[in-house]
Amino acid sequence: MQTARLGPALARLRGTVEIPLFVFGLTMVALWLVAAERGHAFLDDVTWIHWDAGHYLKIAVDGYELDTCPPEDPKPGLCGNTAWFPLYPWLVGALYHLGLPLGSTAIVISNLFVVGELILVWLLFDRRATPAAISALVFVAFIPGAIYHHAPFPMSVLGFFILLCLYLCKRERLAWAGVAGAAAAASYPIGTLVVPALAVWVWLVYRALSVREKLRRTFQTAGLAALGPVCVVVAQWAQTGYLDGFWIVQERYDSSIASPFTKYWNNLESLFHHPRQMGAVIAVQTVFVGLVVVACVVAFVLRRGWLSPVDTLAVLIVLPMWIVPLTQRNQSIWRAEAALVALALLLRYLPIRLQVALVSVAVTLGLLLPAYFFSNLLV
């Protein structure tokens, strides 16, 4: 009897993970080929741990630090690692302090969350192998900046909790969606944009309900999600004594505001001045992401996509996550674009041939950028 009950459960599990794992395997093979072409050992930690990854690993081991800058620093003031959010290093640190190796653990955690992202996309499409579902899976697997989902960075953790929030909203598990939103907001700075997105979503989707009920659902979703950035501030205050530790360090990197249109135009213009340099690949990616976002949002409106609550939330997440990094003068835009996993849900509103074309470009960019990453040229 017990064996009979296990049969359907195992079949369901297989149907849930089989195709996502296949897509993940193809992604890893592709990245292995790129690393080999650049002369790097795919399984060597050094291949993956570059630049900002060191900050996350430092937080995992020693927590947050904020102290007077060394005399040789050109900018006097306070220096530290409070510009990097804690959820990912907390996960790494928990296993590291149990005795697991730091670098390998960080890389494995990143890739486990990539698998989780793909499974959630598959579930959001009801595990049906439709062209739209396959396009979405491949797009998330090779999303522009996808290399940062596999390296010791929090992008796959952020993407996982964004997709989990969407999935839970689809199932109307609003409180749990708020918890997932809090995790996203504690993973990466632009993850905090999930909080206002959830608040606006409640008032759009549940506009027929009473004000009291809408306020209750806003608290369940956006209210709980707001605990994410609160935890970040409290953790940094507890370890450094500064409530504004994030902003203190962020100001050292010239995080002034700029027009997003100016930055987007500058990337477009650079294609004609430096067509063969690394910057051209980054510029193509930025221009491409903008075109995909605009095309998907326009198609969403034209095809009355707002009738789907989960797709409406995807739009409310994607638009600010695309625009806000463009307003930051010194933002690593190629990494921030890797956060746009919710965009995969909106591809379905485009004609299938256009979906295939856009996903093909995404795959191409997803293989070009890692070449520069493996060569330690990207922050």
DSSP 272: T
Rounded to whole angstroms, the Cα distance separating 36 from 43 reads 11
- Cα 314–chain centre separation: 13
Average per-residue pLDDT for the chain: 92
Yes or no: say if 66 and 82 are a contact pair by the CB < 8 Å rule: yes
Q: Where are the domains of the chain?
A: 19-374
Please give the structure tokens belonging to residue 278. Answer: 């690394």
Share of the chain above pLDDT 90, in %: 77
pLDDT band at 275 (very low <50, low <70, confident <90, very high): low
CA 244, 246, 249, 254 dihedral sign is negative
Q: Reply yes or no on whether the pLDDT at 203 is more than 60.
A: yes
Rounded to whole angstroms, the Cα distance separating 127 from 287 reads 32
Q: Reply yes or no on whether the pLDDT at 276 is more than 70.
A: no
Strand pairing report for 78-80 and 66-68: antiparallel
Q: For 92-96, 209-213, 228-232, 327-331, which range has the lowest pLDDT when averaged over its residues?
A: 327-331
Please report the pLDDT score of residue 251 as a whole number.
86
216-221, Cβ contacts within 8 angstroms, sequence gap of 24 or more: 217/174, 220/174, 220/175, 220/177, 220/178, 221/169, 221/174, 221/175, 221/177, 221/178, 221/181
Please report the pLDDT score of residue 4 as a whole number.
56
Rounded to whole angstroms, the Cα distance separating 137 from 257 reads 34
Number of other residues whose CB lies within 10 A of the CB of residue 255: 16
Please report the pLDDT score of residue 301 as a whole number.
95
Cα–Cα distances (Å) from 238 to 63, 64, 226, 242, 342, in that order, read 10, 9, 19, 8, 33
Q: Burial of 14 by CB count in 10 Å (0-12 exposed, 13-18 middle, 19+ buried)?
A: exposed
Number of other residues whose CB lies within 10 A of the CB of residue 209: 14
Please give the structure tokens belonging to residue 38. Answer: 């650049």
- What region, left, alpha or beta, does residue 130 occupy, with left being phi > 0 and alpha being psi -120 to 50 degrees? beta
Please give the average per-residue pLDDT across 54-60, as a whole number. Answer: 96
Yes or no: say if 181 and 194 are a contact pair by the CB < 8 Å rule: yes
pLDDT band at 24 (very low <50, low <70, confident <90, very high): very high
Q: Largest Cα–Cα distance in the chain?
A: 73
- pTM of structure: 0.94
pLDDT band at 266 (very low <50, low <70, confident <90, very high): confident
Please give the structure tokens belonging to residue 82. Answer: 């409070």
Q: For 44-48, 135-139, 143-147, 276-280, which range has the lowest pLDDT when averaged over its residues?
A: 276-280
Please report the pLDDT score of residue 277 as a whole number.
67
Q: Reply yes or no on whether the pLDDT at 302 is more than 90.
A: yes
pLDDT band at 264 (very low <50, low <70, confident <90, very high): confident
Please report the pLDDT score of residue 274 as a whole number.
61
Number of H helices, E strands in the chain: 19, 2
Please report the pLDDT score of residue 51 as a whole number.
83
Yes or no: say if 369 and 285 are a contact pair by the CB < 8 Å rule: yes
Please give the structure tokens belonging to residue 292. Answer: 């995909």
What are the residues whose beta carbons fall under 8 Å from the beta carbon of 140, sequence distance 6 or more?
117, 118, 121, 159, 341, 344
Share of the chain above pLDDT 70, in %: 95
Nearest to 83 by CA among 327, 278, 263, 328: 328
Q: For 113-117, 250-254, 349-353, which range has the lowest pLDDT when averaged over its residues?
A: 250-254
Coil, helix or strand for 66? strand
